[in-house]
Structure 1
């Protein structure tokens, strides 16, 4: 099973693209700024190159995790020791991959797993942080909603095209 690394690079861009729309003042940006106690002037501070660059690097890290959550064949590859040892795997591995190597490799399936990751992983983490930081439910749901949408799209791209 070969991977399309361009799909992973593309999926990592999703965090930026969804963020541009999600946090736009006409969508949730104004509410987010108010709930975060930020002003337009606050947002102009800092290096945007650094912020966007690190966001993309962190997003690449997320794609690696989502790949293992959305592409079930990753588990089978791990059982034989990973890509370097596939050539030495037993014939049963090749037979398994011939039968099931492309099973559940669709955008829809990946989107389902991405959505579940957002709902059952990102939401609780953001919720816990928000509660301890005494943030509002609006704040929590704005960020959690962003991650649910983002991980859904990323999961779909990774599973369908990687």
Structure 2
């Protein structure tokens, strides 16, 4: 199974790009600010290098997890002990990878798994936290929508190009 690390680094940028659009005042930004009791002035006071830098690092962490969810062949590689042991794996592993090494490695397939991750992982995590924080459904849906769109695109890039 070939691996393209550039695709992983690029997929981590997706959260920044989608966030720029999603939280723009003309999209959901105004509603998001109102739901969080924030003003434009308050948002300008943050350390942007820290915020965007850590966002990218966290997005890389998400990318690594999505890789195992979207690329099914990583499960087969894990069965033989990981990349260092692929060369010493039994011949049946090489035959399996020859037959199925590129199966389901498309943008569409990865986007499906990313969407499912957003719907069945991000939404419940955000929902549980928001319910205990007494946040509104608008708050939940804005954040869950952002993560579902981001994870869908990230999953597609990872599975199709990594």
Output the TM-score relative to the length of structure 1.
Answer: 0.99
> What's the offset of the Cα at 1:124?
0.1
Q: Which residue in the other structure is 2:151 paired with?
A: 151
Q: Which residue in the other structure is 1:122 paired with?
A: 122
Q: Which residue in the other structure is 1:6 paired with?
A: 6
- Taking the TM superposition and a 5 Å limit, the aligned residue runs for 1:103-114 are 103-114=103-114
**Corresponding pairs, count:** 162
Q: Secondary structure at the match of 1:88?
A: coil
Q: Which residue in the other structure is 1:71 paired with?
A: 71
> What's the offset of the Cα at 1:42?
1.0
CA distance in 2, matches of 1:2, 1:81: 17
Q: Which residue in the other structure is 1:33 paired with?
A: 33
Q: Which residue in the other structure is 1:84 paired with?
A: 84
Segments of 4+ in structure 1 off by > 3 A? none
Q: Secondary structure at the match of 2:113?
A: helix
Instruction: Give structure 1 stretches of 5+ with no counterpart.
Output: none
Q: Secondary structure at the match of 2:86?
A: helix
Instruction: Give structure 2 stretches of 5+ with no counterpart.
Output: none
> What's the offset of the Cα at 1:49?
0.5
Q: Does residue 1:141 correspond to 2:146, yes or no?
A: no
> What's the offset of the Cα at 1:45?
1.2
Cα RMSD (Å) of the superposition?
0.4
